[in-house]
Chain A
Amino acid sequence: MEVTITINGTPVTSDVEPRTLLVHFVRENAGLRGTHWGCDTSNCGTCVLWVDGSPVKSCTMLAAQADGHEVTTVEGLEQGGVLDPIQQGFIECHGLQCGFCTPGMMMTGRWLLDNNPNPSEVEIRDCISGQICRCTGYKNIVASIQWAAEHPLTSEVTA
């Protein structure tokens, strides 16, 4: 079946099997490999992206269900060569090690800040509790999201 999904503002049309998972569509059909796959059972959250502005575990959704919808992935965070504060926060606060869970964590963190610009530590921990990181013990992920909250429109970015 033909599916058209607008990913990071660009429509992507592919003829796919009805059972194709959204995560596979994004990775294989759209060629955007920043969204990762990690568990089969929707527990790990490494595949989190946005559908119509809300975080979704993209291994839980069929590409067909996203037909005609807007998807935002980690590749859509950087705008005009400037990193999003959430990306900068992960760099500043050592919020990542192997980097595998990072895109999903950043998508959830960015969404949280869009909806709650000054979250408490408890709110941040609760918000990312559907996602697993095996490297960082979460402390620096929390700090990274806090950094982004404190630097909403920073232009002093370096990478």
Chain B
Amino acid sequence: MTAVEEVPLSAAGNPIGFGSMRRVEDARFVRGQGNYVDDVNLPGMLHSAILRSPHAHARIVSIDASAAEALPGVVAVITGKILEGIPRPSLLGDNFAWMPTLSYDTQAVLATDKVRFQGQEVAYVIAESRYIAKDALELIDVDYEVLEPVMDAKMALDAGAPIIRDDKGQTDNSITDVHGNKTWESGNAESTAAAIAAAKADPNCVVVTQEIMYPRVHPAPMETCGSVSYLDKVTGQLTMYTTTQAPHAHRTVYAMVAGLPEQKIRIISPDIGGGFGNKVPVYPGYVLSVIGTIVTGKPVKWIEDRNENLTSTGFARDYHMTASIAATKEGKILAVDVDVLADHGAFNGVAQPTNYPAGFFNIFSGSYDYPDAHCKVTPVYTNKAPGGVAYACSFRITEAAYVIERVVDCLAQELQMDPAELRLKNLLRPEQFPYTSPTGWEYDSGQYEKTMRVAMEMAGYDELRREQAEKRTRGEYMGIGISFFTEGVGAGPRRDMDILGLGMADGIELRVHPTGKAQLRLSVQSQGQGHETTFAQIVAHELGIPPEDIEVLHGDTDNTPFGLGTYGSRSTPVSGAAASVVARKVRDRARIVAAAALECAPDDLDWELGRWYVKGDRERGKTIAEIALLSHSSLELPEGVEGHLDATAVYNPPSLTYPYGCYICVVDVDPGTGQVKVRRFIAVDDCGTRINPMIVEGQVHGGLADGVGMALMELIAFDTDGNNLGGSFMDYLLPTAVECPDWELGETVTPSPHHPIGAKGVGESATVGSPAAVVNAVIDALSPFGVRHADMPLTPANVWRAIQGNAIRVDMAIE
């Protein structure tokens, strides 16, 4: 724990600053009074549904919607052909049938020429009820000419492979980014290749190469995506209630897509039922609800069903990685090279900073001290749903952390060295920070060995190894897996990071009312992270007023300043910093007002929590509440000083923050059934300053469940015909309370040196760090069978087959 005990409590018992406190938002949620998008009902509102392609790759010969249009209660049926006929006054193409993605690709709103993945949007029905809209879908007759699909990324670039993006005049299935690159490289190719070649030739060194697949998974928030759109044709005002993690960015995108004036667009993102990156992109369904209100003049609601969510909106991962690690036989890592085939689906719709087409994957060198690292990522189109950057991935650091932590364990097995000992030999040392990684990231701070020792102590690591050895003699297979991860979060510095040209800085506004109560207006968007509580605590920390006196507003673009939204663990590193900065501006202004009232110079005043007082005379002072009223009074202020305390700020982070952690997982594997039981999971996170430790721990708990899910059960697989085999919760398995152990959490606190309050962001740490710990534990359990690697998910069938020496390949379509 940090020194939260020293924080004074408000009359309501809340910390005036940092420390665990109950969440403000819970009062409405426990009463069933949350307001999610599907809870929004506007007068005269119509409902809608989307007809989706049953084929992964097919030419649309014809669409006959006449029977659907004739169904009583149907208001309109819209097809791609109709959208092609609606001119769009914007720079992004001349009609509504296509829209831009966040990666400067194009994506069909409704298919016109071909369908390119199973579940793609083909037609849109607007009706008086959701039931009627769904009925009408079944009356639309689409004649498809089925084409051979590309379901295996490894065959996408083969000569003669079917061309998916013929709409762009492509002659193969390669993806070209906005800079004209078809592959994305990072690090030093020559020095890394030379180091690996030298190690191969050196009898005192080893090189281990392993194919490692991070399969396609889905964030699957409990609330699916949806929107309610209303264009008031008299005022020209478009109001859109929508499930978005980035309301302001979406407003700008809709202005571009729809050609509507941005000042007339209001995005309201009310309560969001989980996001995890699923609600960052702009999906055709959102755009269709806008088109629906334009066409009908009435509010139109669109809500995905679960199958639509799992098969059409932002998937995650699908990275086919081959990693080579070179080391001395004593276990000193020398170099790592990773080659990646990246399956982006049918449209390049990844949501990430423009200059990082593979996200932050190139942070894969991890938490270790070695000079040479290189990666090459080759993205391809396949006949699968678009997406790729989602599911709490910190812009693909999930893949990066997984590949390094898996291959380090492969190395440990090769060297017959304890994986903890191997890691301890190579961890970055405190005096190396700030540390520049071989691929150019500047890690801000860390005490890696200390954190790892805390985790090992909590786990009772040596005792676990003794227990394991003893059990093996009895034919019982217990495994211990370690993962040590480093993330870079808080995107990001505007000089380098933007999405669609929008720099990733966040605005904020703090209003201090005359009675000293405040309103903080955020650009970021909670999907359950507890911003209404945490951000009030940041202001309370800076101004010394109780958190319950600070109302936090978010999720309405008309009432909050511009910013890029919540994903990539960026709320605390960017907007949290903004909250601190804007509160300090208020505090500085308050000093001037207090000085005028106390008839002294501002420099003659000292600050203590909640008040300015005269140096050497603690009795003479003014509280923030008193100063707030004075700032509205007739008090004469110095020349050039405006009244009131209200302030705004825009925070452009100087760098990312680098949270890290050490996780240890203990599993028991039944070799007869292949069943894996996660017995214990120890997670020691260092995310710098903890604003609300209760909320931080909650964030970690959720991510750990993600790790258990991905490692053991979650998978979006396809068959060779292009059928999505993970399209419902009967097929896409998520962990429940019985698969999750009682998480054991620990912490170290190494503040970020460049963040105003030293916080680092923690929303995705556990999702990033935990899958490798679970997989490493299972492989450790199976090592007596000679197993060095098996791909996720380690289902009972897959574990059993791995024991038989025939692990399932999850990188291929299923025959």
Taking Cβ atoms with an 8 Å cutoff, the residues of A that contact B are: 17, 19-20, 32-41, 43-44, 46, 73-75, 77-78, 83, 87-88, 90-92, 94, 96-103, 106, 121, 124-126, 128-142, 158-159
Q: In the complex, what residue of chain B is closest to A132 when comparing beta carbons? A: B734
Q: In the complex, what residue of chain A is closest to B22 when comparing beta carbons? A: A91
Q: Which of B523-543 contact A (CB under 8 A)?
A: 527-530
Contacts of A90 in B (CB 8 A): 26, 30
**Interface on chain A toward B: helix, strand, loop, or mixed SS?**
loop
From B32, B131, B700, B728, A74 is in contact (CB under 8 Å) with: B32
In angstroms, Cα B730 to Cα A85, docked, is 33
Contacts of A134 in B (CB 8 A): 219-222, 274, 276, 702, 705, 734
Q: Which 9 A-B pairs have the closest CB atoms?
A: A34-B32, A98-B528, A100-B273, A99-B29, A137-B701, A97-B528, A43-B729, A74-B32, A137-B705
Q: Which of A33, A73, A87 has the most CB of B within 10 A?
A: A33
From B131, B219, B306, B704, A38 is in contact (CB under 8 Å) with: B306
Q: In the complex, what residue of chain A is closest to B308 when comparing beta carbons? A: A40
Contacts of B699 in A (CB 8 A): 97
In angstroms, Cα B131 to Cα A136, docked, is 33
Q: In the complex, what residue of chain A is closest to B741 when comparing beta carbons? A: A139
Q: Which of B730-771 contact A (CB under 8 A)?
A: 730, 734, 736-738, 740, 742-743
- Across the interface, do B32 and A138 meet the contact criterion of CB distance under 8 Å? no
Contacts of A34 in B (CB 8 A): 31-34
CB B789 to nearest CB in A, in angstroms, measures 26
In angstroms, Cα B36 to Cα A100, docked, is 9
* B648 part of interface (Cβ distance < 8 Å): no
In angstroms, Cα B33 to Cα A34, docked, is 6
- Across the interface, do A100 and B738 meet the contact criterion of CB distance under 8 Å? no
Q: In the complex, what residue of chain A is closest to B692 when comparing beta carbons? A: A94
User: Can you spell out 21 A-B residue pairs with CB atoms less than 8 angstroms apart?
Assistant: A19-B131, A37-B38, A38-B223, A38-B306, A75-B31, A94-B22, A94-B698, A98-B222, A98-B223, A128-B736, A132-B734, A134-B221, A134-B222, A134-B274, A136-B705, A137-B702, A137-B703, A139-B701, A139-B743, A141-B737, A159-B30
Q: In the complex, what residue of chain A is closest to B527 when comparing beta carbons? A: A98
From B31, B697, B705, B742, A78 is in contact (CB under 8 Å) with: B31
- Across the interface, do B31 and A135 meet the contact criterion of CB distance under 8 Å? no
From A44, A97, A106, A158, B729 is in contact (CB under 8 Å) with: A44
How many residue pairs bridge A and B at CB < 8 Å?
169
From A41, A43, A139, B740 is in contact (CB under 8 Å) with: A139
CB B290 to nearest CB in A, in angstroms, measures 23
Q: In the complex, what residue of chain B is closest to A127 when comparing beta carbons? A: B737
CB A85 to nearest CB in B, in angstroms, measures 11
Contacts of B389 in A (CB 8 A): none
CB A147 to nearest CB in B, in angstroms, measures 12
Contacts of B729 in A (CB 8 A): 39, 41, 43-44, 132
Assess A97 versus B742: contact at CB under 8 Å? Given A39-B729, A129-B736. no
Contacts of B26 in A (CB 8 A): 90-91, 96, 99, 159
- Across the interface, do A129 and B737 meet the contact criterion of CB distance under 8 Å? yes
- Across the interface, do A36 and B701 meet the contact criterion of CB distance under 8 Å? no
In angstroms, Cα B530 to Cα A94, docked, is 10
- Across the interface, do B222 and A132 meet the contact criterion of CB distance under 8 Å? yes
Contacts of A125 in B (CB 8 A): 737-738
In angstroms, Cα B271 to Cα A36, docked, is 13
- Across the interface, do A36 and B738 meet the contact criterion of CB distance under 8 Å? no
- Across the interface, do B704 and A137 meet the contact criterion of CB distance under 8 Å? yes
CB B183 to nearest CB in A, in angstroms, measures 34
If A94-B694, A97-B529, A142-B737 are given as contacts, then 7 extra A-B residue pairs at C-beta distance below 8 Å, sorted by A number, are A33-B36, A34-B33, A36-B222, A90-B30, A91-B30, A97-B702, A99-B28
- Across the interface, do A41 and B728 meet the contact criterion of CB distance under 8 Å? yes
CB B313 to nearest CB in A, in angstroms, measures 15
In angstroms, Cα B738 to Cα A128, docked, is 9
In angstroms, Cα B687 to Cα A97, docked, is 19
CB B97 to nearest CB in A, in angstroms, measures 29
Contacts of B22 in A (CB 8 A): 91-92, 94, 158
Q: In the complex, what residue of chain B is closest to A73 when comparing beta carbons? A: B32
Assess A136 versus B702: contact at CB under 8 Å? Given A90-B30, A129-B738. yes
* B272 part of interface (Cβ distance < 8 Å): yes
From A39, A87, A132, A135, B698 is in contact (CB under 8 Å) with: A135
- Across the interface, do B131 and A135 meet the contact criterion of CB distance under 8 Å? no
- Across the interface, do A35 and B222 meet the contact criterion of CB distance under 8 Å? no
Contacts of A40 in B (CB 8 A): 305-307, 728
- Across the interface, do A99 and B271 meet the contact criterion of CB distance under 8 Å? yes
From A91, A97, A128, B737 is in contact (CB under 8 Å) with: A128
* B449 part of interface (Cβ distance < 8 Å): no
Q: Which of B27, B38, B223, B695 has the most CB of A within 10 A?
A: B223
In angstroms, Cα B30 to Cα A144, docked, is 12
Contacts of B306 in A (CB 8 A): 38-41, 44
Contacts of B742 in A (CB 8 A): 121, 139, 142
Q: In the complex, what residue of chain A is closest to B732 when comparing beta carbons? A: A43
- Across the interface, do B32 and A98 meet the contact criterion of CB distance under 8 Å? no
- Across the interface, do A106 and B30 meet the contact criterion of CB distance under 8 Å? yes
- Across the interface, do A99 and B34 meet the contact criterion of CB distance under 8 Å? yes
CB A26 to nearest CB in B, in angstroms, measures 11
Contact mask B366-380 → A, CB, 8 Å, 1/0?
000000000000000
In angstroms, Cα B539 to Cα A67, docked, is 52
CB A108 to nearest CB in B, in angstroms, measures 11
- Across the interface, do A36 and B223 meet the contact criterion of CB distance under 8 Å? yes
- Across the interface, do A137 and B30 meet the contact criterion of CB distance under 8 Å? no
- Across the interface, do A94 and B695 meet the contact criterion of CB distance under 8 Å? yes
Contacts of B32 in A (CB 8 A): 32-35, 73-75, 103
* B39 part of interface (Cβ distance < 8 Å): yes
- Across the interface, do B39 and A33 meet the contact criterion of CB distance under 8 Å? yes
Q: Which of A102, A124, A128, A134 has the most CB of B within 10 A?
A: A134
- Across the interface, do B728 and A46 meet the contact criterion of CB distance under 8 Å? no
Q: In the complex, what residue of chain A is closest to B28 when comparing beta carbons? A: A99
Contacts of A138 in B (CB 8 A): 701, 705, 736-737, 740
CB B136 to nearest CB in A, in angstroms, measures 15
Q: In the complex, what residue of chain A is closest to B274 when comparing beta carbons? A: A98
* B332 part of interface (Cβ distance < 8 Å): no
* B224 part of interface (Cβ distance < 8 Å): yes
In angstroms, Cα B729 to Cα A131, docked, is 11
* B211 part of interface (Cβ distance < 8 Å): no
CB A76 to nearest CB in B, in angstroms, measures 9
Contact mask B109-133 → A, CB, 8 Å, 1/0?
0000000000000000000000100
